[in-house]
Chain A
């Protein structure tokens, strides 16, 4: 009885017996479904139809359900269908599937114009909600800092140092490497184009101003948003998923004070340091290329650099760093706490943490540019 499953209609008096035989199991389910669909057409052809399952060698949920489906469609056809020859072993399984109700409604509503409009509306409204939640978080962090200032025992030094190591010390190699390379590229491109009108030496001016005012801090902020902002979101998000944040709250701790303040502080301290190191690396790289490729020797480079830049350029650059760090940190923490229960949600929020972090960094940079231009720095 190990062949394929079968279902033979056999006339019995004025009735009809459908004799099921063979293994009615999951592996043969596609065949079984076809067999059953064929047999369903017999509904109503005879006054008395019953399904004989005494020859079934093996039965599992799939087979049992298909027999039940057949029984139902035969019954709905106006004749009472019965199942005969059921062995004791399988009777409880057949009873089980007999209790199954009709098919469920499909999962999602189909795509429609109104659905799309609804989506667009929700996203637009979401922009406002994002701004509100960022300001909300900024307020919460400032309030927590206030509390910590009044009661310094609540400050988490160990945690802050740990995060400082993660976001600052461990980021130094990659930040220095990338800014060094960017410095090299700016210098090479500058020399290549300035040489056409004999203005090679002005590459030093361009490099100094560009790196100290803009590129150094902006590039480092973008790297930090990608590197540490995403880590913050993922950490806080998975803590949220596992109810760790709820646990903190019930023990009387403020999650902002325990989790977010140390992270924010670490970031605000780290970014100026990284921006400074990045700027130095970029200048070094630029100087190296100017010497090897452009023939500007180091003494001339330094002399020219001293003329080209003033302390203002450096201050303009470095003053932006902590503000950008705060923006990255707040975005990352808001996104982390917004994670819902699923892995997919964690992924979405981590992505949007980086995207929003970089976006706000660039917006802030623009705002600073306007501000410094208007105060003449």
Chain B
């Protein structure tokens, strides 16, 4: 491991993202610390996914800087970028599984690209990953079009975890899962974080996830982080949207 300045695995500074004249992110700052699970919330359409995609490099930004693992992604050359990309995994909202490949091939796709493993080991690891996300080995031969929505999410997570990344981006991981499945998923994220020392950046709307899985919560509003801190800090906040979010009917139901 190289030097770890201030322990921030992601450092986002003053980024501005604009689509046409519509400013989505406006001078946003955010730190994600090593080993934490950061829950990222905000109203629909506030740009949570845009921020995720900007950090991963899928959306161009107008200004600002992004450092991941201490590497400035704008200054990095293609080699350095690839090295960073190999260390993170991304779970897209719709799964984004390759529709022409089977589940097994989907999970092995990044492994095949980055590591030179025997087919036997790859198959065994595939089964292990499927087991980790709560799927049976038989699923391995199916195509994405033959899977249910929840299974697609799980397979996509297995693919995101295929290379045992240090950092994973989860875009609404529990949406579309039944409550038990979602609870298992939170538990799974927790387990993986403990065992692999994983850092998790999770965009979510699931209050259960926020309570049970997240160490820290950041709230996006008006293109900026309006609050960041523990769940207790969020509940104490006087911000109107936060009050509604954490003291609304659903929040009370979650808290019992």
Q: Which residues on A are within 8 Å of B, measured CB to CB?
A: 25-27, 29-30, 33, 60-62, 65-66, 69, 89-90, 92-93, 96-97, 99-101, 103-105, 107, 340-345
For the complex, give the distance between the alpha carbons of A344 and B98 in Å: 10
Known contacts: A30-B117, A33-B121, A100-B131. The answer to whether A343 contacts B191 by CB under 8 A is no
Give the docked Cα–Cα distance between A218 and B99 (Å): 37
Give the total of B residues in contact with A, Cβ under 8 Å.
Answer: 37
Contact of A104 among B115, B117, B127 (CB under 8 A): B127
Main secondary structure of the interface of A (DSSP, over half): helix
B141 within 8 A of A: yes
A342 with B191, Cβ < 8 A, contacts A26-B164, A99-B131, A104-B123 known: no
Are A33 and B100 within 8 A (Cβ)?
A: no
Most buried by A among B117, B138, B146, B164: B164
Smallest Cβ-Cβ distance to A100: which chain B residue: B128
Interfacial chain A residues near B140, Cβ < 8 Å: 104
B126 contacts across to A, CB distance below 8 A: 104
Q: Most chain-B CB neighbours within 10 Å: which of A30, A89, A90, A342?
A: A342
Q: Nearest Cβ in chain B — how far from A140, in angstroms?
A: 25
Q: Which residues in window 60-114 of B have CB below 8 A to A?
A: 98-100, 102, 104-105
> With an 8 A cutoff between CB atoms, is B223 at the interface?
no
Residue from B117, B118, B124, B163 within 8 A of A100 (CB atoms): B124
Q: A61-B129, A103-B124, A104-B137 are in contact. Are A29 and B102 (CB under 8 A)?
A: no
Confirm or deny: B21 has a beta carbon within 8 angstroms of a beta carbon on chain A: no
A342 engages B131 (CB within 8 Å)? no
B115–A341 touching, CB < 8 Å: no
Q: Can you pick out 6 interface pairs between chain A and chain B where the beta carbons lie within 8 Å of each other?
A: A60-B164, A61-B128, A96-B132, A342-B100, A344-B99, A345-B99
Q: Is B39 an interface residue (CB 8 A)?
A: no
Closest to A90 in B: B195
Query: Are A62 and B164 CB-contacts (below 8 A) given A27-B115, A103-B120, A103-B127?
Result: yes
* B145 interfacial by beta-carbon distance below 8 Å: yes
Q: How many Å from the CB of A239 to the closest CB on chain B?
A: 15
Tell me whether A61 and B164 are in contact (CB under 8 A). Answer: yes
Q: Are A65 and B137 in contact (CB-based, < 8 A)?
A: no
Known interface pairs A104-B123, A104-B140; A93-B115 also in contact (CB < 8 Å):
no
A25 proximity list for chain B (CB < 8 A): 164
* B38 CB to nearest chain A CB (Å): 21
Tell me which residues across on chain B come within 8 A of A340, comparing CB atoms: 145
Q: Indicate which residue in B102, B123, B132, B144 contacts A61 across the interface (CB closer than 8 Å).
A: B132
- Measured between beta carbons, the chain A residues less than 8 angstroms from B197 are 89
Q: Of the candidates B117, B124, B145, B195, which one forms a contact with A93 in the assembled complex, judged by CB atoms under 8 Å apart?
A: B195
Cα distance, A279 to B233, chains bound together (Å): 76
A56 to chain B, nearest CB (A): 13
